[in-house]
Structure 1
Amino acid sequence: MCAFPTKGLSSAPQGLAADTRTLDSLRNVAKNDPRGAAKEVAKQFESLFMQEMLKSMRQATQSSGLLDNEGSQLGTELLDKQLSTQLSGQPGGLHGAILRQLERGMGLDKAGTHGAQAVQGSGAAGQAAASRALAAPLPGQAANAPARADGASATAAAAPRGKAHEFIAAHQGAARVAEVATGIPATFMLAQAAHETGWGKRDIRKADGSPSHNLFGIKAGSDWKGPVAEVRTTEYVGGQPRQVVARFRAYASAEESFADYARLMKNSPRYAQVVASGSNAQGFAQGLQRAGYATDPAYADKLGRVIDTTLRLQRAMT
């Protein structure tokens, strides 16, 4: 897998940061441009992360078996590598969080002017720092308040700026993978996840208190064979809110939640019009409401406001 060169880093290596020779090359580059080298490593780690996400999504999708062979599998792997390379390094992506961890581990100041002594061995140290960044808990996972599956809360658009930035940075990569699968802009899906969870502050918890990672409030119907979480939530019956106990799907990670949401949008005839109009924010929000995604009569208006907020935050982060 190759990574795009960092702008202004003409001598940046094109291989993976996990490769020994590439690490040596990165160390040499870091002597003259430590911040540029850190950016390159962050992009490469994000690319690896995206590739694993694509692999997991394909494994979770049932194949026909008619055309499966070693050649098709190799072609799929090469396609995933190319997609992960193209998706990495975008504004608001995971590489930003990895880069901050790398720069702290390398001892870089704000101007990035520390000398060669500060970055000796920074390739291995940076690799460990990036691994810690990937393993760190996502913002909002420690919240105890139950989520609103119907998105009835009107507070999502007014989330604290810092919290919203963390939420976008944490889930931007998974949203981009879902965008490839559905054609729905990643920003719209990020906004819907933010609306359903209050920017990560409300988490649907399982009986043992562990998180369900259900970012979209998807309920567990009779066809769902995975783990579930039962929580009290608000549903609208005849336009009036009522408290009910409902079963929701539970996932091992937020990435699985995005992947399952993408499958729901792509494979369910109920949401065909949502996918067809997914490039338009108003059409996306209203399409979800018409399809009965949520019972809140004001769901489309609330989601539209959160989409506007997400777009503004993403522009500020670039």
Structure 2
Amino acid sequence: MAAASIDSQKLGTYTDMSGFAGLRSAAQQDSKSALPAVAKQFESIFTQMMLKSMRDASMGDGIFDSQASNAYRDMFDHQLSVTLSQGKGIGIADMLIRQLGGTAQDSTSASSTDSDALAALSGSGAVSTSSGVSSPSDAESGLMSDLQHLLSRSARAASDGATAVAGAVSKFAPGSPEEFVKALAPHAIEAAKTLGVSVRALLAQAALETGWGKHMPAQGSTTSFNLFGIKAGSSWEGKRVNVPTLEYENGVAVRKKDSFRAYASPSDSFQDYANMVATSPRYAKAVGRGDDVKGFAKALSEGGYATDPSYAQKVADIANGPVMKQALAALKSLANLP
């Protein structure tokens, strides 16, 4: 199948996955001819990731934003990334084509600046090479394999229908423990390094406090991203939400309404938590516990972090339980994918 038979109209619409099927078939039969279309799709995926990172780094939702408007915005970003790549794009497609032995449009040779950028791209692992400059055929097969993997994941997400839309509506709305661990693992790793404790301990504590991300403190449509149930005392100068909570007084559960800290992102929640535990004399015995999950949680509880007498055991049970093990195994499997 020649590159001319690839339906560019279908590839120009992010919701039409049939175009990807045609592209995959064309790449398998004539990878050289399909290279320009493949490079554009790779650039489209990169652009969409860039737009998503930009949205996540914003100062927060506007007063007129809602789940519906955020969903339409995410749909717009997906289509925008595809449309941009179909034109001149941002240059990534041209660099890939030249690197893989093709001829980029509107360019007959790569400048020294492009060569430096390509070297950095290869070094970062975006195009896998075994020794310096690889032959075009080796690089092409690597690109095709990586792109097929990415497209397959996109196709599965699109086929999930309402589940995929629900995931696009919220910045952090894990539908399973696996998604919870996948989203929070990078933040948990950094916080664990600061505190000298197990990553599992922090993920388990966050899972206990939020029900695996499903029950964070929230007021109306305002989500707090408070993953550790940290209350907002008089010294807290940031945003807060007032919600009902369950406290234990003399071993008896009592319903109360309290004020909790609100953050702009899960990352901010982990950073504030790690800073609070690391600098508070009350929790000094919790720092540096290593893999002793129960000892870490017990030291927190004894310092007044939680009133539940079974808090330490609950954290340890989650950290060492089958659900956490399965979620971590899925994360390791994902990390090992090509």
The TM-score normalised by the length of structure 2 is 0.52
Task: State the Cα distance separating 1:106 from its structure 2 match.
Answer: 10
Instruction: State how far apart, in whole Å, the 1-side matches of 2:27 and 2:206 are.
Output: 40
2:71 counterpart residue number: none
2:50 counterpart residue number: 131
Instruction: State how far apart, in whole Å, the 1-side matches of 2:206 and 2:27 are.
Output: 40
Instruction: Give the gaps of 5 or more residues in structure 2.
Output: 1-13, 57-167, 333-338
The answer to whether the 8 A contact 2:294-2:315 is kept is: no
**RMSD (Å), alpha carbons:** 2.9
* Rg larger in structure: 2
The answer to whether the 8 A contact 2:240-2:261 is kept is: yes
1:140 to 173, 178, 181: 173
Distance 1:238 1:130, change over 3 A: same
Instruction: State how far apart, in whole Å, the 2-side matches of 1:114 and 1:222 are.
Output: 62
Please tell me whether residue 197 in structure 1 is matched to residue 210 in structure 2: yes
Distance 1:288 1:120, change over 3 A: same
Higher-RCO chain (CA-CA 8 Å, sequence separation at least 6) = 1
Greater helix percent: which structure? 2
Q: Deviations over 1:258-301 (max 9, x none)?
A: 00001011111111111132431121122222222111111111
The answer to whether the 8 A contact 1:105-1:129 is kept is: no
Instruction: State how far apart, in whole Å, the 2-side matches of 1:105 and 1:189 are.
Output: 42
1:226 to 221, 238, 246: 238
Instruction: Give the gaps of 5 or more residues in structure 1.
Output: 1-100, 142-161
1:313 counterpart residue number: 327
The answer to whether the 8 A contact 1:187-1:311 is kept is: no
1:236 counterpart residue number: 248
2:222 to 202, 210, 215: 210
Task: State the Cα distance separating 1:128 from its structure 2 match.
Answer: 1.9
Distance 1:239 1:213, change over 3 A: same
Please tell me whether residue 299 in structure 1 is matched to residue 311 in structure 2: yes
Could you tell me which amino acid in structure 1 is paired with residue 210 of structure 2?
T
Could you tell me which amino acid in structure 2 is paired with residue 198 of structure 1?
G
Instruction: State how far apart, in whole Å, the 2-side matches of 1:105 and 1:287 are.
Output: 55
The answer to whether the 8 A contact 2:182-2:331 is kept is: no
Task: State the Cα distance separating 1:312 from its structure 2 match.
Answer: 4.0
Task: State the Cα distance separating 1:108 from its structure 2 match.
Answer: 8.0
The answer to whether the 8 A contact 2:206-2:212 is kept is: yes
Task: State the Cα distance separating 1:132 from its structure 2 match.
Answer: 5.3
Distance 1:292 1:169, change over 3 A: same
Aligned pair count reads: 194
SS for the counterpart of 1:256 is helix
